[in-house]
């Protein structure tokens, strides 16, 4: 049997807390040449470029909130009248200078509405960050599984080369005794070459997959030689209805609740514009011809603002009314994705059990019998090759089903934002 690697949990155990900010120096490995799944998760959370964007976005939203919380500012202005005219108004002898202070009185609680809109935007951004983190970790998990799967398949090619070389040695001995033909010897030699070609091809594939994995923490330098984990460690899922209930409470769905809060805040802000703001002004006017001074006061406000604002209010309300349909559409899509992953996980687990418990042991026994019979000259060369190929094919299928099972398990954990069990 091919070698199984050190056991490692495939559960996204950091998924539910993935939006927490990790300290930059919290990542540490005992062996930099061996990458564990936990290492990959931490590296991704700390260094992934897509996730770093949310920190800057959050700071931008907080800065906008500070701006929106400001009260209307004051303005100071000066006005000089009755200058450079004709007759008695020539020159500046009869000029009137007015210096005034002005501002705006906001009506309809506009400032509070702006703050509420900013808070809703910050709240929504947080859910976006959670959902994006789950997506990134889910995709990274699949890339990690691909690397581990290829590593295990490389172990299988080592076994394939060993079996092929054993066949060649046996065929060579038989040919020397005159019990086998040169054609059989050449076919056995070709089997060795083909096994080595496959080994080299998988090694190149592994290097490409390492690059794909490393991109999740924003680097083009491969700093690990292998990944650690047990490809054959996966969990039997809970009943589908329980998983679907978790999906309804996942960040992918709660995002719509935060979006509804944002839309309500936009409606509230739009409605405040029905109330016209009052612009006031207080100043002092000096009369040059009499050298006297007097206070001035004024105010202004636009008319018919409610009717002019009805369109914006209606547009904001319609934008919110779309959300229940979008939520229902998303829920149906997630239900389909969850069911497909759930069904395939169960299917691959059952296939894996059959291969591991029945098919592979029978084929291993068949290969031993065939090897012995071929060495004794009681079975033809072709039967020996077929027995070897059937066993290697079944073991490759075992790897593929295990990889597929883990990928579907990762999809379920991504959709539910929870691990399938608590064993790590």
Residue 91 included in any domain: no
Tell whether the model's pLDDT for residue 91 goes beyond 80: no
Tell me what the mean pLDDT of segment 368-385 comes to: 88
Q: Flag the least confident range among 75-89, 274-288, 336-350.
A: 75-89
* pLDDT confidence band for 24 (50 / 70 / 90): very low
Residue 194 included in any domain: yes
Residue 319 included in any domain: yes
pLDDT digits (tens, 9 = 90+) for 243-253: 999 998 888 78
Residue 60 included in any domain: yes
SS in 3 state form for the chain?
A: CCCCCCCCCCCCCCCCCCCCCCCCCCCCCCCCCEECHHHHHHHHHHHCHHHHHHHHHHHHHHHHHHHHCCCCCCEEEEEEECCCCCHHHCCCCCCEEEEEEEEEECCCCHHHHHHHHHHHHHHHHHHHHHHHHHHHHHHHHHHHHHHHHHHHHHHHHHHHHHHHHHHHHHHHHHHHHCCCCHHHHHHHHHHHHHHHHHHHHHHHHHHHHHHHHHHHHCCCCCCCCEECCCCCCCCCCCCHHHHHHHHHCCHHHHHHHHHHHHHHHHHHHHHHCCCCCEEEEEEEEEECCCCEEEEEEEEECCCCHHHHHHHHHHHHHHHHHCHHHHHHHHHHHHHHHHHHHHHHHHHHHHHHHHHHHHHHHHHHHHHHHHHHHHHCCCCCHHHHHHHHHHHHHHHHHHHHHHHHHHHHHHHHHHHHCCCCCCCC
pLDDT digits (tens, 9 = 90+) for 35-54: 999 999 999 998 888 888 87
Tell me what the mean pLDDT of segment 390-394 comes to: 95
Residue 167 included in any domain: yes
Tell whether the model's pLDDT for residue 17 goes beyond 80: no
Average pLDDT, the chain: 82
Residue 145 included in any domain: yes
Residue 97 included in any domain: no
What is the pTM for the complete model shown? 0.77
Residue 176 included in any domain: yes
Looking at the structure of the chain, the number of domains it has is: 1
Tell whether the model's pLDDT for residue 222 goes beyond 50: yes
CATH for 157: 1.20.1600.10
- Domain span at 201: 34-64+112-275+307-416
């Amino acid at each position: 049997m091919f070698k199984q690697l050190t056991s490692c949990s495939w559960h996204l155990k950091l998924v539910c807390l993935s939006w927490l900010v990790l300290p930059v120096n919290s990542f540490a490995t005992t062996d930099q040449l061996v990458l564990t799944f936990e290492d990959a998760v931490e590296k991704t959370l700390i260094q992934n470029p897509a996730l770093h964007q949310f920190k800057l976005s959050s700071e931008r939203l907080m800065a906008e909130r500070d701006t929106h919380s400001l009260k209307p500012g004051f303005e100071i202005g000066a006005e000089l009248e009755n200058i450079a005219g004709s007759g008695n108004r020539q020159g500046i002898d009869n000029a009137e200078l007015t210096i005034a202070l002005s501002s705006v009185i906001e009506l309809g609680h506009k400032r509070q509405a702006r703050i509420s809109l900013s808070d809703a935007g910050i709240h929504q951004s947080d859910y976006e960050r959670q959902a994006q983190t789950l997506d990134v970790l889910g995709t990274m998990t699949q890339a990690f599984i691909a690397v581990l799967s290829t590593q295990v398949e490389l172990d299988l090619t080592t076994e394939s080369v060993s079996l092929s070389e054993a066949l060649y040695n046996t065929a060579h001995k038989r040919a020397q005794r005159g019990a086998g033909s040169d054609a059989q010897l050449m076919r056995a030699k070709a089997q060795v070459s083909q096994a080595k070609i496959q080994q080299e091809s998988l090694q190149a594939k592994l290097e490409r997959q390492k690059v794909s994995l490393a991109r999740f923490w924003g680097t083009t330098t491969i700093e690990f030689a292998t990944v650690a984990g047990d490809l054959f460690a996966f969990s039997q899922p809970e009943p589908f209805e329980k998983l679907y209930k978790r999906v309804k409470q996942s960040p992918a769905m709660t995002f719509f609740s935060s979006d509804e809060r944002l839309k309500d805040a936009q409606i509230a802000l739009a409605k405040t514009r029905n109330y016209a703001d009052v612009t006031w002004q207080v100043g002092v006017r000096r009369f040059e011809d009499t050298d006297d001074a007097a206070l001035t006061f004024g105010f202004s406000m636009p008319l018919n603002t409610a009717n002019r604002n009805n369109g914006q209010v209606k547009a904001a309300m319609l934008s919110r009314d779309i959300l229940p349909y979008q939520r229902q559409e998303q829920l149906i899509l997630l239900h389909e994705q969850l069911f497909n992953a759930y069904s395939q996980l169960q299917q691959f687990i059952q296939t894996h059990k059959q291969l591991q418990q029945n098919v592979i042991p029978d084929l291993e026994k068949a290969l031993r019998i065939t090897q012995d019979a071929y060495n004794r000259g009681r079975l033809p060369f072709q039967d020996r090759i077929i027995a070897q190929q059937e066993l290697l094919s079944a073991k490759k299928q075992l790897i593929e089903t295990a990889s597929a099972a883990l990928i579907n398990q990762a999809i379920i954990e991504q959709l539910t934002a929870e691990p399938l069990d608590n064993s790590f």
